[in-house]
Amino acid sequence: MKLQSDFLVIGSGIAGLSFALKVAKFGKVCVLTKNSITDTATVYAQGGIAAVIKKTDTYEKHIADTLIAGAELCDEEVVRMVVKEAPAQIKELISWGVEFDKTDDGKFDLAKEGGHSEHRILHHKDNTGYEIQRSLTQEVLNHPNIRVMDEYFAIEVITQHHLGKIVKRSNDNIECYGVYALNKKNNTIDTFLAKTTLIATGGTGNLYQTTTNPEVATGDGIAMVYRAKGTIENMEFVQFHPTSLYNPGETPSFLISEAVRGFGAILRKINGEKFMYKYDERGSLAPRDIVARAIDNELKISGEDHVFLDCTHLDSTELLARFPNISQKCKSLGIDITKDMIPVVPAAHYLCGGIKVDKNGRSSIKNLYAAGETSSTGMHGANRLASNSLLEAVVYADRAAKDAISLIDKIEFNTSVPDWNDEGTTHNEEMILITQNLKEVQQIMSNYVGIVRSDIRLKRAFDRLEIIYNETEELFKKSKLFVRLCELRNLINVGYLVIKMAQKRKESIGLHYTINYPPKKKEA
Ligand code: FAD
Ligand code: SIN
């Protein structure tokens, strides 16, 4: 089957759906998503979305906090732009039906999280993402110009390569004509032609054994664009959230929001001792790279499996009202957060790098945009500030939408694109070839390319990943395609990029910490 749409969107999280709503007045929109429309990371977001709302807060303070967290690797112009465009985007979210909590006097109830110098996090209790996903999904499903095609797995970005031409990474004229996608319901591969395509496929958390990300977060968009010879950057900056609930065997790991620490909760060792002031004067509310590394270090020293997050000194009525989902989840495991400390460990949470885009969300490939966690805009630098991700996603969806709208009448469909050719391939009989390789990739990444790295660990990771890469490519060429195989291939591609970029960076900065190049001591 061949389908045409003016605007093709891959992914149904905050980036994909908000883009779809913005462009829908100007042409036909098709949204592909690999499971159901609500199977996203967006739905899991707890803490909220950062914006300057309070009179005593200023853009300059939000900009400074973002730049400090990003360890001087942010693009300051981008940070200024995103922070200043935030209030307008919040208004639009509200116009689509998103409800943010307010206090009794009708003002927004703004929370504080690690690295923020002010209360500026708009939230809906402790399930902000669910509220955003609910509203956007409803708007999108009711829009006559938007067609959502669920259970469709995008496999490859279509470029001149598929017309038989040689495409090199150094070419500056690569064009995107749409994507090939696997219809999971009948296992056929369909061709989706588009004037413009937005990649909004989210993160890569499943590269690691323990992650807060849903199963769909397998870096598909980044891998597709890399294979299409697009530019990818900053992949070494993988953010580990310090406080996921320690509950071995549960995937994804349940997040204990940073907002809980913003509310006054304190990290303690198993013996009850506070430890964060040893590492940073901001204590438990230091930026998350510092907190995650501190916990990792304490666990290595003590040999324990987790530390504790202590809320027992906080007002219990307020605590339960503010964090109903977290308290409910803990209660289901026998933990009463008003009386018991919560066992927590770091887990892979967010990728700061990805598909390099300009200020209009354009990738290095013509007519191909990226927004949300899959993109690298320059906003996060070496470490993302809490609650800046949802914000960056809506601002860039808006910018990409405006740019795509301005070009849409000048772009033609490329109808000479051939159908996907899988002649000579056969059905894979042995799932173990996939599941074992996936486990190995996750082990390699967790043990050698995690919170603390070194040259030798990175080299080991690279050498081992290469073996798995060769095995998987061989299988890919021979097999009729299926989702688990494609996801494994994508994770291997993304793992390779993380390792290569980590090897190139000969310093410890932000989320990339290596024992071979320890951070330079600040001069007294
Ligand atoms: P997602 O919401 O992940 O959506 C990606 C979409 O792409 C999904 O629909 C997926 O199915 C689809 N997809 C992927 N691959 C394919 C493919 N090959 N074919 C078709 N479809 C595909 N950030 C904040 O700012 N504040 C928070 O409070 C916050 N809390 C968080 C809590 C948790 C537990 C997690 C996991 C993340 C949190 N984040 C938070 C980060 C933030 O939620 C994400 O970065 C953001 O939601 C990503 O949005 P997105 O639209 O880019 O991608
Ligand atoms: C959280 O609620 O701690 C997650 C916030 C984020 O990832 O920005």
Q: Give the domain CATH number at 311.
A: 3.90.700.10
Q: Is 111 in the pocket of ligand 1 (CB under 6 A)?
A: no
| Residue 8 CA to ligand 1 centre (angstroms) | 18
Co-location of 492 and 372 in the same domain: no
E strand map for 273-356 = 307-310, 342-351, 354-356
In a domain, 423, yes or no: no
13, 40 Cβ separation under 8 angstroms? yes
Taking residues 272-280, report their average pLDDT: 96
Co-location of 290 and 338 in the same domain: yes
Q: Is 128 in the pocket of ligand 1 (CB under 6 A)?
A: yes
Co-location of 117 and 227 in the same domain: yes
| Residue 389 CA to ligand 2 centre (angstroms) | 9
Question: Going by C-beta distance under 8 Å and a sequence separation of 6 or more, which residues neighbour residue 217?
Answer: 41, 202, 203, 204, 205, 206, 211
Considering only CA atoms, which residue is closest to atom 12 of ligand 1?
Answer: 11
In a domain, 172, yes or no: yes
Question: What is d(CA 248, CA 228) in angstroms, rounded to the nearest whole number?
Answer: 38
pLDDT, tens only, 192-236: 999 999 999 999 999 999 999 999 999 999 999 999 999 999 999
Question: What is d(CA 231, CA 370) in angstroms, rounded to the nearest whole number?
Answer: 11
285, 262 Cβ separation under 8 angstroms? yes
pLDDT at 523: 45
Q: What percent of the chain has pLDDT over 70?
A: 99
Co-location of 41 and 171 in the same domain: yes
Atom of ligand 1 nearest to the CA of 32: 20
Is a pLDDT exceeding 60 seen at residue 522?
no
Considering only CA atoms, which residue is closest to atom 39 of ligand 1?
Answer: 45
| Residue 520 CA to ligand 2 centre (angstroms) | 28
**Residue 322 a catalytic site member:** no
Co-location of 232 and 365 in the same domain: yes
The alpha carbon of residue 146 and the mean position of all alpha carbons in its chain are separated, in whole angstroms, by 24
Co-location of 15 and 103 in the same domain: yes
| Residue 231 CA to ligand 1 centre (angstroms) | 21
Ligand nearest to the CA of 114: 2
Question: Going by C-beta distance under 8 Å and a sequence separation of 6 or more, which residues neighbour residue 301?
Answer: none
Co-location of 340 and 356 in the same domain: no
Q: Is 343 in the pocket of ligand 1 (CB under 6 A)?
A: no
In a domain, 23, yes or no: yes
Co-location of 18 and 127 in the same domain: yes
In a domain, 164, yes or no: yes
Atom of ligand 2 nearest to the CA of 256: 3
Domain end, chosen from 317, 347, 377, is at 347
Between the CA of residue 161 and those of 168, 181, 235, 412, 465, what are the distances in Å? 9, 16, 25, 18, 26
Is a pLDDT exceeding 80 seen at residue 362?
yes
Q: Is 493 in the pocket of ligand 1 (CB under 6 A)?
A: no
By residue range, what is the domain housing residue 34? 2-236+352-410
Quote the Cα angle for 53-58-59, to 5°.
95
Number of C-alpha atoms within 13 angstroms, CB side, residue 174?
Answer: 27
Q: Is 257 in the pocket of ligand 2 (CB under 6 A)?
A: yes
Atom of ligand 1 nearest to the CA of 50: 25
Catalytic residue among 288, 322, 362, 457: 288
Nearest CA among 223, 231, 219 for reference residue 169: 231
Question: Going by C-beta distance under 8 Å and a sequence separation of 6 or more, which residues neighbour residue 84?
Answer: 59
Q: Is 46 in the pocket of ligand 2 (CB under 6 A)?
A: yes
| Residue 361 CA to ligand 2 centre (angstroms) | 23
Question: Going by C-beta distance under 8 Å and a sequence separation of 6 or more, which residues neighbour residue 95?
Answer: none
pLDDT, tens only, 105-162: 999 999 998 899 999 999 999 999 999 999 999 999 999 999 999 999 999 999 999 9
Atom of ligand 1 nearest to the CA of 211: 36
**How do beta strands 354-356 and 232-233 pair?**
antiparallel
pLDDT at 521: 65
Q: Which CATH number covers residue 216? A: 3.50.50.60
Q: Is 229 left (phi over 0), alpha (psi -120 to 50) or beta?
A: left
| Residue 19 CA to ligand 2 centre (angstroms) | 22
In a domain, 217, yes or no: yes
Quote the mean pLDDT of the chain: 96
Q: How many CB atoms lie within 10 A of CB 138?
A: 12
Q: Is 373 in the pocket of ligand 1 (CB under 6 A)?
A: yes
Cis peptide bond N-terminal to 519, omega within 30: no
Q: Is 200 in the pocket of ligand 1 (CB under 6 A)?
A: yes
SS3 366: strand
Co-location of 6 and 35 in the same domain: yes
Pocket test for ligand 1, best of 34, 100, 325 (most atoms within 8 A of CB): 34
Considering only CA atoms, which residue is closest to atom 53 of ligand 1?
Answer: 202
Question: What is d(CA 459, CA 452) in angstroms, rounded to the nearest whole number?
Answer: 14
Pocket test for ligand 1, best of 44, 100, 263 (most atoms within 8 A of CB): 44
Question: Going by C-beta distance under 8 Å and a sequence separation of 6 or more, which residues neighbour residue 75?
Answer: 377, 378, 379, 381
Co-location of 230 and 253 in the same domain: no
Ligand nearest to the CA of 243: 2
Q: Is 387 in the pocket of ligand 2 (CB under 6 A)?
A: yes
Q: Is 42 in the pocket of ligand 2 (CB under 6 A)?
A: no
Model confidence at 524, in pLDDT bands (50, 70, 90)?
very low
| Residue 418 CA to ligand 1 centre (angstroms) | 32
Q: Which CATH number covers residue 457? A: 1.20.58.100
pLDDT, tens only, 371-430: 999 999 999 999 999 999 999 999 999 999 999 999 999 999 999 999 999 999 998 878
In a domain, 216, yes or no: yes
Question: What is d(CA 330, CA 322) in angstroms, rounded to the nearest whole number?
Answer: 14
191 residue type, one letter: T
In a domain, 495, yes or no: yes
Atom of ligand 2 nearest to the CA of 384: 8
In a domain, 393, yes or no: yes
pLDDT at 428: 80
43 residue type, one letter: V
**Number of independent structural domains in the chain:** 3
Q: Is 127 in the pocket of ligand 2 (CB under 6 A)?
A: no
Co-location of 119 and 188 in the same domain: yes
Co-location of 162 and 26 in the same domain: yes
pLDDT at 287: 83
| Residue 202 CA to ligand 1 centre (angstroms) | 5
Model confidence at 470, in pLDDT bands (50, 70, 90)?
very high
| Residue 262 CA to ligand 2 centre (angstroms) | 11
Q: Is 34 in the pocket of ligand 1 (CB under 6 A)?
A: yes
Taking residues 473-480, report their average pLDDT: 94
Q: Is 5 in the pocket of ligand 1 (CB under 6 A)?
A: no
Ligand nearest to the CA of 130: 1
